[in-house]
Amino acid sequence: MNAVHRIRSRTVVLPVHDIDTDQIIPARFLTTTARAGFGRHLFADWRFDAAGRPRPEFALNRTEAAGCTVLVAGRNFGCGSSREHAPWALLDYGIQAVVSPSFADIFRTNALKNGLLPVVIEGPAHAWLMANPGAEIEIDVDLTTLALPDGRRVPFPIESFARYCLLHGVDELGYLLSQERSIETFEVRRAQ
């Protein structure tokens, strides 16, 4: 996992609540044993028509969306299936952060494990972002703030260990493996 400190980008907005992981990456693309290449199927059924042509009206297909790395969406983003292919698809497409008033638990966990930043922003700041696609914003993981174009910094919550992992580009597996002695002790104690 690469370290993430700051993300500066214009936003692309999907003004929809409860965007489920079946929309982010439809199940028919999951019959693979690889973890790369999901980006071309991101939001497949919203991005493309049945003949595979891009739908020009879809936010990600608009010319101004090119190069945007921050996605703003409605509440309960990533609900549904536990498929980690959803954050893999977003990252592979080039999205580095998703801004929403709330995230589904499993999606949030999966996103953080891959260096995709789930940014919880509620209230007027979120409403403003939803209404202003293309806004130039900066997300700072050190400060845990999202800076709006007027310079106002909106704080967002992030679990402390996940933040540490993001800032240092480390994954949890190393930490878990370092707990070997505690795990061993636990197993011995329970076996008694």
Nearer to another protein, 65 or 106 (CB): 106
Nearer to another protein, 93 or 107 (CB): 107
CB of 2 to another protein, least distance (A): 15
CB of 29 to another protein, least distance (A): 9
Which tokens go with 87? 């954050």
Closest CA to 84 of 56, 59, 112: 112
Chain residues in the site for another protein (CB under 8 A): 15-18, 20, 22-23, 26-28, 30-35, 45, 50, 74-76, 79-84, 87, 102, 104-106, 109-110, 113-114, 159-161, 164, 171-173, 175-177, 179-180, 182-183, 186-187, 190
Nearer to another protein, 9 or 14 (CB): 14
* Longest Cα–Cα distance in the chain: 64
CB of 160 to another protein, least distance (A): 6
Nearer to another protein, 167 or 186 (CB): 186
Give the orientation angle of helix 85-93 with respect to helix 105-113, to 10 degrees: 50
Measured CA to CA, the distance from residue 126 to residue 37 in angstroms comes to: 31
Classify residue 16 as exposed, middle or buried by CB count within 10 Å of its CB (0-12, 13-18, 19+).
middle
